[in-house]
Structures are given as C-alpha cells and as structure tokens.
Structure 1
Amino acid sequence: METFDPHHQSRHIESKIVVALERISEAFKVLLWKKGKEYGLTPLQLQLLLFVRFHPPEKSKVNYLAREFNVAKATISETVRLLGKKELITRMRDPGDSRSYSIHLSETGLELVSKISDFASVIEAPLKDMPQSRKEAFFHELYYLISRLSSDGVISVNRMCVSCKFFERSENGTYCRFLEKVLSPGDHRIDCPEHQPVG
C-alpha cells in the first residue's frame, strides 16, 4: 500500500482521505502535548482525567481504561498512581471485589479539568462555520468509518448506536428504544452514555 506516497495520493482519493485524517490526528497530539505541558501532565494523563470526568464510575476502572486507550493495564495503573500523587484523583474500592477500584476526580482534579477540557476547541471552531447539511454529511461519513474500524477490531471500545441493544433498523430508518425516537443521521452517537452492548 502506497498511501503516503504523494504520487499515489494524486490518483487515489481514499489515500488523500487517510492522509487528511492522519493530519487531524497529529493536530490532536500537538494540542494534547501543548495543554499537558501547561499543567505538567502527559497526554495520557490529560485524556484519562477528561474520560473520568465525563463517564460513569463503572467505566473508570483500570481494565476498562486500558481497553479505551489501547494501552497495557500496567500503563494505566502507573498513570493512575502519578495522578494520585498529584492529588488529582481518588480511588474508591469496589465492595464486591477488593482488588478492583474506580477512579474519581478530586476537587483539584475537577478544577483542573474545567481548565483543560477546551483543548480541542481550535478543531471544533471551523466545524461551527460549516452549513448544517455539510456537518451532518461529514459526521455520517466519519460515523461509518469509525463503525467499520470497530467491527474490524481496530477500535476496541465501542459506545456507538450500531453496537447498542436499544438500536433498531427498519424500513423507515433507525430507532432508539431507550430514547423512544426515530434517529436522523445527526442523532447517532459516537460516545453514548446510555449505551448497552448487544448480547
């Protein structure tokens, strides 16, 4: 595959799209490093704090976080240890399993997250200028791509509509039994808080 060969790209739109996505991925890395440096955090520490802030305790456990970020459990454990030393998180033992614990933000951690959660706003800003129809079409294509990457096993954690037990397809489109509503393409979710895996 010659995806990163500019001559190949000039003849294959798929390769141009892959390289465009790689550039956007690079922008995220740069923004994470920049914001992390400002507060003495690594990109993974910053991502973990953001994840814990906006997801429930059952998803804020070492095993789940390792799958979420595609890293070893030992890497997450070390990240949690360092964030604990910085007093940004607390650990709460699972009453049913003394070896398991969920991670929660401390007051200091909550304060910090309110300062760092806008790190990607520079990427969101140009999207706001797009007409609604273009945004919805763009989201629809990204949704399809992420869904395929998930079904191919590239992405290990999936909280999308298509993998949820509440999701239904019909002749009239798609429907969410949890929200009890027909879903337009723009209603589909990438990270749904009510997501329940099929089976």
Structure 2
Amino acid sequence: MVNITYSTDYRLCPPAPKPPGRTGIYFLSYITTFPPNHFALKIVLSGPYLSILTTLLLHPYMPQKKPSNFSPEQQLHSLDARLVLSLQRLSDMLKALQWEQARTLGLTPLQLQILLFIGYHPAELNKVAHIATELQLSRPTISDAVASLVSKGLLNMQPDKRDRRSFSMSPTEAGQELLSKAEEYAAPLTEVLEKRPGFEKNNLYQTLFAMIAGLMNKESGGLQRMCYTCAHYQGNKKRQHNCLFLNKALTSAELQIDCMYHSSLS
C-alpha cells in the first residue's frame, strides 16, 4: 500500500495513515518560489521492522536561505537591495560628518543633536521625555547628555509653570553661538542637493516621506510631527492633501515631517 501526501510547504504535510503490519511509503514535495525554483523530495519508509528516512537533495535544487540586502550578489539583481544599501551608506556618511563636527566643538554626537533640536524648537517640546521619544533613546541617556550641556554653559533649564517637576530647556548665549557651527556638518549634503534639478528633488522627497510614514506605521520611526499624524491634515494620503490650519491645498512635495503647527490626533 502506498500513501502519498503533497504540499507546497513540507511543514503542512500531515502524516499518512500507517496500515498496521505494512510498510507505508510517504512522498512529499517542497517547492519554493524564489528563482530558480528549488525542489526537494522526502521519502519515508516505515514498518514494524523498518524505519528509514531518506532525503534527496538534488543540486542545484537545494532550498536557499533568504537573500540578504547586504549581499553584493543580491544587489546585482535587486533594486530594493541597492536602495537599502544606498540609504545605509548615506546615513553612515552623515554620521561620520556629525561625529567630526561634534569632536571639533568639544561635544558628543548626541549632545550636538540635542543642542540642534532645542535651538530650533519651542519650549513645550524641549523636555527630556519628549527628546527621548524624538531620538528613540532612554530618558536617563538624554538626562545625562543634557546635564553635560548645562555644565558646559550651553543650556538653561526652566521649570514648567504648570508642572514644577518638569523642566524645559533653551540655549544660553554661548549655546546660540555654537548652534550655527553645530549645523555645518550637513553643509556637504546641502551642496549636493542644490545642484540637483527641482523635479528630481520633488520626487526624492515624496519617496522619502512615504518611506518614513511606512516605518512610523510599524512603530519603528519614532515621534514624527508629520502631516499624516496631524489633526489639521485632510486628504487621501495619495494626491489630495489639505491643511486646515493654513487653509490651503498642499502638493505631495509640500507635506511636512517636522511641522511647527502640528497638532496630535486625538
């Protein structure tokens, strides 16, 4: 007696019934969709006196592990892999520029980020808890960096009038002077962007905005004051965008990531 079971996923193949006192033959077929198709046969012989497991893996049809975007071989064939690597390279280059600028100013990269954020945002956002969420770091980490900036005379701390346990921060005069130098690390990128045509930058921004929104939806993009999460936004998140606060229609390239008028959705 021969029992045959087939499935596109070998894990879902139920065991064929074993007739008592007889040898059963179990035949499974596993096919992947990753090109080229991989094919493996698994034959199991079992009986009261015999138990043999034979797996035939016919090269080059052996199942392959999931391709990696960081593999040069995968990058030859996948545009997505090349895009992931390009964004990673760009991030690494900006980090290197930021580290060098921070070192020149006698700061850590985190202190430089905090100084830049506090220097250009209102008092209600310049609190340890909010900055920790913004930078996706722990509150103790932000508190230590802020304390160092205060000790260097670059930040002032003011108690919140509504909550004396909470403090907001603002740059001192020395902090303001350092602020203009702190942002210079991004100058090389700005110079590159200035040389690109407008339509190219519009398309690039729309793509980056959509990617950030996609990551944010998966709870891995931190806190974003962007149009899609704003109570003033009205539209279909495709081609129709309106800002109720500004009372105007927006193009996709005008959507904001760090808007000063952002109001959280209730």
Same fold (TM over 0.5): yes
Gaps of 5+ in 1: none
Match of 2:125 in 1: 59
> Would you identify which runs of 4 or more consecutive aligned residues in structure 1 move more than 4 Å?
none
CA RMSD for the aligned pairs? 1.3
CA distance in 2, matches of 1:55, 1:95: 18
Q: Deviations over 1:61-93 (max 9, x none)?
A: 010010111111000100011001100001001
Structure 1 residues 4 and 108: alpha-carbon distance in aligned structure 2, compared to 1, 3 A threshold: same
CA offsets per residue over residues 101-159 of structure 1, 9 Å max, x none?
A: 00110010001002222220101111111111111001000000000011111112011
- Report the TM-score, using the length of structure 1 for normalisation: 0.97
The C-alpha deviation readout for 1:11-68, integer Å capped at 9, x for no partner, is 1111110110000110111011110010110000000000001111111101001011
Q: What residue in structure 1 maps to residue 50 of structure 2? A: none
Structure 2 matches for 1:66-81, cutoff 5 A? 66-81=132-147
Which residue of 66, 91, 109 corresponds with 1:43? Answer: 109
Alignment counterpart, residue 155 of structure 2, candidates 61, 80, 89: 89
Give 3-state SS (helix, strand or coil) of 1:91's partner: strand
- Which structure 2 residues correspond to residues 21-170 of structure 1 after superposition, within 5 A? 21-169=87-235
Contact 2:239 2:251 in 1 (8 A): no
DSSP-derived class of the 2:166 partner: strand
Contact 2:136 2:222 in 1 (8 A): yes
TM-score (norm 2): 0.73
Q: Which has the higher contact order (CA 8 A, sep 6+)?
A: 1
Q: May I ask how many residue pairs the two structures share in their alignment?
A: 199
Rounded Cα–Cα distance in structure 2 between residues aligned with 1:133 and 1:90 = 43
Residues in 2 aligned to 1:69 and 1:116: alpha-carbon distance in whole angstroms: 17
Deviating more after overlay: 133-142 vs 111-120: 111-120
1:172 CA drift (Å): 7.1
What secondary structure, in the 3-state scheme, does the structure 2 residue paired with 1:96 have?
coil
Q: Higher helix proportion, which one?
A: 1
Q: Percent identity?
A: 33
Corresponding letter in the other structure for 2:100:
K
Higher alpha-carbon Rg: 2
- Shift of residue 183, structure 1, vs aligned partner: 0.3
> How far does residue 197 in structure 1 lie from its aligned partner after superposition?
1.3
Structure 2 gaps, min length 5? 1-66
Contact 2:239/2:252, CA 8 A, preserved across alignment: no
Structure 2 match to 1:195 = 262
Give, as a single letter, the amino acid of the residue that structure 1 aligns with 2:259.
C
**Residue 17 of structure 1: aligned partner:** 83
1:141 is paired with a residue whose SS is: helix
* Matching residue's letter, 1:50: L
Determine the structure 2 residue equivalent to 1:8: 74
